[in-house]
Amino acid sequence: MAFNAGALPQPSNEYVAWVDVMGIQSAMSRSLKISANFVFKLHIAALSAPRDQVQVYPVMDGFYACAPRQEAILAFLRFVFSQVAQEFVGATQPLHRFIVRGGLAFGPVIHGNEVGAAVDPRLEDHDDYKSKILLGMPIVQANASERLAPPFGIYIHESARAFAQAGEEPFHHVWWKWVNQENSANWNPLLERLTAHYEWCKQMPNRLIYDLPRIDAHQKMAAEYFLVEPNS
């Protein structure tokens, strides 16, 4: 039985974010319980965030989040990052601290729950399964951009920087900052805590399975991200 791609619904232009836990492979290699703590706390933050117009697709140690409007996706990301930052600042044991980062892109996507039986009748009775599928170029762009983000930062792919819908403020920088008046208490201590955390990591790179050059690079990115003016 043929799959009829011609019957796919028209894609819709949306913002797509990819957010995940940094260094989850080394964390999972060391401890199931510690890595579970990291992964589930990130997903709990996503579940607790305002999701008006936002659809979330969890994937292991991270998630994709989509929204048709910039305001909706940024409100969602701001909440998630603020919550995880609060966890990081409040952790008393270095081994219990985890860091997230993300990428944001814009473009045409198709949500699996929109794909009907005309595409393939075998999909008709599997709405729950289809709802976990997301297709589109912004997914790749957001995922690839994440590695360019600093710790606790979000990298804005050129697809989102080059385009602003009516009534939306264009992005002016490759890094978007989630700080505002409401969450500044979670933002303000981060650079100091991150600096101390990376100095601790340097004392045991082999135990953490974390190469020294990567520790230095992440520490420098964090310093640059937190010291420049917000969203300049």
- Domain architecture of the chain: domains with CATH: 8-227 (3.30.70.1230)
Q: Say if residues 175 and 227 touch (Cβ distance below 8 Å).
A: no
Q: How far apart are CA 52 and CA 27, in angstroms?
A: 33
Q: Residue 228: what pLDDT?
A: 67
Q: Residue 230: what pLDDT?
A: 52
First to last CA, the chain: 54
Distances (CA, A) of 214 to 18, 150, 196, 209: 21, 12, 16, 11
Q: Residue 183: what pLDDT?
A: 96
Q: Residue 220: what pLDDT?
A: 97
Amino acid type, 133: I
Tokens of 176: 């978007």
**Pairing verdict, β 134-135 and 62-67:** unpaired
Q: How far apart are CA 131 and CA 113, in angstroms?
A: 5
What backbone torsions phi and psi does residue 226 show, to the nearest 5 degrees?
-85, -15
Q: Report, as ranges of residue numbers, the positions in the chain whose pLDDT lies below 50.
A: 232
Tokens of 150: 């600093």
Q: Residue 229: what pLDDT?
A: 63
Q: Residue 1: what pLDDT?
A: 63
Q: How far apart are CA 110 and CA 137, in angstroms?
A: 10
Q: Cα–chain-centroid distance for residue 82?
A: 12
Q: How far apart are CA 112 and CA 107, in angstroms?
A: 16
